Structure 1
Amino acid sequence: MESFQQRVQPWMLACFGAEIAADSTERNHRFLEESLELAQSCGCTAQEAHQLVDYVFGRAAGEKRQEAGGVMVTLAALCLAHGIDMHACGEEELDMIWERIDAIRAKHAGKPKIRA
């Protein structure tokens, strides 16, 4: 069986096309948006998020592979603390988004274009 990551790629290509799917800046912004929405849903405030942004960006950038591993570990820990099955949530989301490609494209078109 293909990994979850491998099964996300065909959806990304079907929904957004190769250019947007591979756009690292776009992927950074969408990941940050989703992680903030998760933290918000678990009780994190905007003030806390702003403090953490200042803390993180006040330090040197980390190494991508190590930071990706850290995201995986801390997501698992957050889900444990909140009684969430992260694997089941991922599978449910992937199933659902295949059915909502048009709506997701429309929502994406309305997102702010963030400039560096």
Structure 2
Amino acid sequence: MISPYQDRVGRWVDACFGRAVAADRGERNHRFLEEALELVQSLGCTAEEAHQLVDYVFGRPPGDPWQEAGGVMVTLAALGNAAGLAVYPAGEAELARCWDKLEAIRAKRASKPAGPLPQ
């Protein structure tokens, strides 16, 4: 069952980029990883620590996507608690901001080359 928030995010991604981009698992993987890295960087994680974790994770077999998605939700909430961040209201505020910047976000994406790295 998809949550109302996840459904609303899905509608925004469809409206902003179209269904093909919304369903592009590779691009969604890259954008999620980028945002996760930006969050931990903003809270003091270093590039060296991030590289160590990449090597650690990719040195093990892949996990189950359902369980790993749950783990992301639990650890995001725990990080929010430790950092004094209310993650759900932050998500709501960011989604509202994204709707307000639809054209700017489309233009930014259109200027990017294909691949994992944004411009």
- Provide the TM-score with structure 1 as the length reference: 0.93
2:25 is matched with: 24
Query: Which ranges in structure 2 are unaligned for 5 or more consecutive residues?
Result: none
> How many Å separate the matches in 2 of 1:29 and 1:53?
14
> How many Å separate the matches in 2 of 1:111 and 1:43?
28
Alignment of 1:86-97 (within 5 A): 86-97=87-98
> How many Å separate the matches in 1 of 2:51 and 2:57?
10
How far 1:98 moved relative to its partner? 0.2
How far 1:48 moved relative to its partner? 0.5
How far 1:76 moved relative to its partner? 0.2
Give structure 1 regions of 4+ aligned residues with deviation exceeding 3 angstroms.
none
> How many Å separate the matches in 2 of 1:102 and 1:24?
23
The alignment partner of 1:84 has SS state of: coil
- Provide the TM-score with structure 2 as the length reference: 0.91
Identity %: 61
Alignment of 1:1-116 (within 5 A): 3-114=4-115
Q: 1:40 to 1:111 in 2, by over 3 A?
A: farther
How far 1:114 moved relative to its partner? 2.3
Between the two proteins, the alignment pairs up a number of residues equal to: 114
> How many Å separate the matches in 1 of 2:46 and 2:5?
30
> How many Å separate the matches in 2 of 1:18 and 1:64?
22
The alignment partner of 2:18 has SS state of: helix
